[in-house]
Structure 1
Amino acid sequence: MARSPLPPLVFAAAALIAGAGAATAEGEVNLYSSRHYDTDERLYTDFTEATGIKVNRIEGKADELIARMQAEGANSPADVLITVDTSRLKRAKDAGVLQSIDSAVLEDRIPANLQDNDNQWFGFSQRARIIFYDKNNVTEPPLDYVSLADPKFKGMVCHRSSSSTYSQTLLASIIENHGEEAAHAWAQGMVDNFARDPQGGDTDQLRGLVSGECDISIANSYYFARALRTDVTGVTESIDQIGWIFPAQEAEGAHMNLSGAGVAANAPHRENAITFLEYLASDQAQQYFSAGNDEFPAVEGVALSESVAKLGEFKADSVDLSAVAENLPTAQKIFNDVGWK
């Protein structure tokens, strides 16, 4: 994903936001969010300053919020659902808690492969799924996801459990890019190569390299970028030991995890909800996803923070994430078949 700073431009989203305050100064928007980052507070305060729309927020786990919206039904106060990963966005759509919207701003700003085919959700920030390795023990790291299943890496690989949405979406993307049979063989090879039972979060996979529990792992880019920017216990003090590869650069490109949002099916403040999503696609908000939480912006050409830029340029997988989402049930079946815990 090669990106470089562009000169300031006046986009439709910026114009819309700048002019929205007078019309909706007394308005509000209710967010149901499973993004648990304190740094997102800046997004909300800047939106209110720009538009006069008050932001009310309820935070929780994605599945809990989706279930809550279902239970609330037509009386739900939710205007916007914000969550992380394509699998959860699909779950929300399948649960009937989102609605289709028309927005020329979002259609223009957000790449087509990062939008739901029915315009029920849109991606606003991304994380690359990177292969990390112990430079002391690995001289020829795998160059793509498929190679991780090579028997020569037996007993060397750390990974998260099959219950992780990151694991599910990665396998679903392998199904889309390489077919179900190849994806099944990959999952079996991964299980055969595990250095330990799948466990922990992405930071724990990096810690596994430092501790010597494994030599190769996969983690989202923003966990490593955070360790470059600030102290992360068990990672930062040994960060020179860790090498990284953006996978599949000669093929489909690096798999990207998505953070996205959609307008709630029964949104009482629908227009304000759409205005909020359009704000998330503005340069101001897109830059803050990178500066505030070490993520890659969804909008092309937006400047990266220093820590994210240190990871280097790369080719991102441009697969349609709506198509990937359709493969999630098959991915779970494969995990079950191969005994991926």
Structure 2
Amino acid sequence: GELNLYIGGGEGGIYYQFVEMLQEIYPDFTVYPSDAGSASLAQTIVDEVEAGSPQADVFWSIDASSLGYVANNDAYDPLPDEAVDSVPSDFRGSDNAWVGVAGRARSVPYNTNELSAEDVPSTVAEIPSADALGSMGWAPTYGAFKSFVTAMRIIEGEDAARQWLSDMQDAGVERFGNEYVVSQQVADGAVPAGFANHYYAMRVKNQRPDAPVDLAFTEGDAGALVNVAGALAIQGTEKRDLVANFVRHLLSAEAQEFFATVSFAYPMIPGVEPVGGLPTVDELNPPEFDLAELSDLEPTLELMRDAGVL
């Protein structure tokens, strides 16, 4: 069959690579992909569904916030239980609106020549006053960081989130363009530690096996958030069976191993382990948090602007 696919983000072509692999395995299966930023495509989907003219069958988003936006606007068709029940409920939308296919954990990359894991506090609230960490690095304009602040705002409250941003600035945090650069700067010793999704340090280590960088994880707070890339069936698709089959393939052991190996993502299904010595999702201690709430971004942007971060 033929499937029209909206790809949000694309993880540097990894999603396209997977789609091409599927088409090689199944000669009768053809995907017509279109890509743009996840947030932009989420808005496009909502607009198209409201106009009664959806142009794609599946949305494969780089983050849960965009999936949540589509779901909150009722622009989805629920996925069948049998396609998604291998994934823990924390990484699925309510009503099976969407399902996570690859996870990424918030982390604190640190330079092992300067720090040990014990130097990193177990909560982000303690980090601004942790003298051992010195001037850390962050990338406040980066989408993953905004999701982290959104989670902090919802879990801890706006005042606490604003105060934390202010305290980090008072502590001399250094600003970089994205979290891969943050992780590189940590490995180079330019800053002793930083804030980043876990896989950026993994990519640094993959390119520079001797790089003095490792990961620490906070516990039970926004700094321990595990976000997901995921898939959603767009409301009005006439190919629900094909969509469900596509999602099942995204969640197959082979696909999960592919994402873990190529992009260092956290697998979403039992039986597939993360690579590179990462703790499993079960060993992490993420907060109790509905990932769909990450779609409530505008108050976060206002808060960050108010704090002088944006």
1:30-80, CA deviations, whole angstroms, 9 ceiling, x for partnerless residues?
111021433334532444435943222112222332344355443332111
Structure 1 match to 2:289: 320
Match among 95, 103, 109 for residue 86 of structure 2 = 109
Structure 2 match to 1:39: 14
| 1:144 maps onto 2:123 in alignment | yes
Q: Give distance in 1, aligned partners of 2:188 and 2:20.
A: 40
AA matched with 1:87: S
| 1:134 maps onto 2:105 in alignment | no
| 1:200 maps onto 2:177 in alignment | yes
Give the TM-score normalised by structure 2.
Answer: 0.84
What is the CA distance between 1:90 and its match in structure 2? 2.4
Structure 2 match to 1:9: none
* Cα pair distance change 1:151/1:131, threshold 3 Å: closer
Structure 2 match to 1:16: none
Q: How does 1:172-191 map to 2 (within 5 A)?
A: 172-191=150-169
SS in 1 for 2:232: strand
Give the TM-score normalised by structure 1.
Answer: 0.77
CA RMSD of aligned residues (A): 2.8
Unaligned runs of 5+ in 2: none
* Cα pair distance change 1:327/1:147, threshold 3 Å: farther
Contact kept, 8 Å, 1:47 with 1:276, in 2: the verdict is no
Match among 272, 283, 305 for residue 336 of structure 1 = 305
* Cα pair distance change 1:51/1:191, threshold 3 Å: farther
| 1:311 maps onto 2:285 in alignment | no
SS in 2 for 1:75: coil
Structure 2 match to 1:80: 58
AA matched with 1:325: L
| 1:29 maps onto 2:3 in alignment | yes
Structure 2 match to 1:302: 272
* Cα pair distance change 1:105/1:192, threshold 3 Å: farther
* Cα pair distance change 1:290/1:126, threshold 3 Å: same
State, as a whole percentage, how many aligned pairs show the same letter: 21
Structure 2 match to 1:224: 201
Contact kept, 8 Å, 1:157 with 1:194, in 2: the verdict is yes
Q: Give distance in 1, aligned partners of 2:21 and 2:182.
A: 35
What is the CA distance between 1:102 and its match in structure 2? 4.1
What is the CA distance between 1:124 and its match in structure 2? 0.9
What is the CA distance between 1:146 and its match in structure 2? 1.9
What is the CA distance between 1:180 and its match in structure 2? 4.0
| 1:66 maps onto 2:42 in alignment | yes
Unaligned runs of 5+ in 1: 1-26
